[in-house]
Amino acid sequence: MTPAEQSRRSAEICRLAPVIPVLVIDDLAHARPLAEALVEGGLPVLEVTLRTPVALDVIREMAAVEGGVVGAGTLLTPADVQAAVAAGAKFGVSPGATDRLLDACEAAALPLLPGAATATEVMALLERGYTTMKFFPAESSGGAPAVKAIGAPIPQVSFCPTGGVSLANAGDYLGLSNVHCVGGSWVAPKALMQKSDWKAITELAREAAALPRASVR
């Protein structure tokens, strides 16, 4: 899969909902009911971060939930890419981008949201053929004003800002013409997962799914 093809597919995935839940899951038993709650609430795209021992098993469980599009976050190495694909991930997300990681995703035909936070990083990915990226860490890298500023000289690139994004500031990003969606963890708080309060999570998902967004190219 070429970078251009990856970016087209990543853009299609990002357009499915205004928010991609960023999920850090420690208990495998939470995987299926959490995915079902989020999908029911209108957030079908789910990013499972590879930060816990059960993350790959969580991807396997969530991949079986009807209507869900499950991806693997925190991809750092080619081995991560191979493991994510084997677990059933339909897309990948990385905090940054290296040639080895990009090569691995292209070889595996895994659509990737590569991370970038500066104009130079964005230009390097654009030069390779990527036009859909993760802007990370969003808030500490300048927030929505930084995303807007990068869009002025590089309008052909669109982003999924992640990192410090919440219900309170998501609208600042979603109102930009170069933002497809945002990534955030607020829709699946650990306290609600620990209580198995899936109805409350569905309501948080509905609230997030209703967020308005600008019409992205």
Please give the model's pTM, rounded to 2 decimal places. Answer: 0.96
Residue 215 lies in a domain: no
Spatial separation of the C-alpha atoms in residues 61 and 75, rounded to whole Å: 19
Residue 215 has pLDDT above 90, yes or no: no
List the structure tokens of 12.
């299609």
Residue 55 lies in a domain: yes
Catalytic residue among 36, 47, 61, 106: 47
The answer to whether residue 127 is catalytic is no
Spatial separation of the C-alpha atoms in residues 166 and 19, rounded to whole Å: 10
Question: What range does the domain containing 188 cover?
Answer: 3-209
Residue 124 lies in a domain: yes
Q: Are 138 and 16 in contact (CB under 8 A)?
A: no
Residue 205 lies in a domain: yes
Tens digits of residue pLDDT in 124-163: 999 999 999 999 999 999 999 999 999 999 999 999 999 9
- Sheet strands side by side (includes 115-116): 115-116, 132-135, 158-161
| Total tally of structural domains belonging to the chain | 1
Residue 217 has pLDDT above 70, yes or no: no
Residue 53 lies in a domain: yes
Spatial separation of the C-alpha atoms in residues 72 and 13, rounded to whole Å: 13
List the structure tokens of 203.
């309501």
Residue 217 lies in a domain: no
The CATH number that applies at residue 166 is 3.20.20.70
The answer to whether residue 148 is catalytic is no
Residue 214 lies in a domain: no
Tens digits of residue pLDDT in 168-213: 999 999 999 999 999 999 999 999 999 999 999 999 999 999 999 9
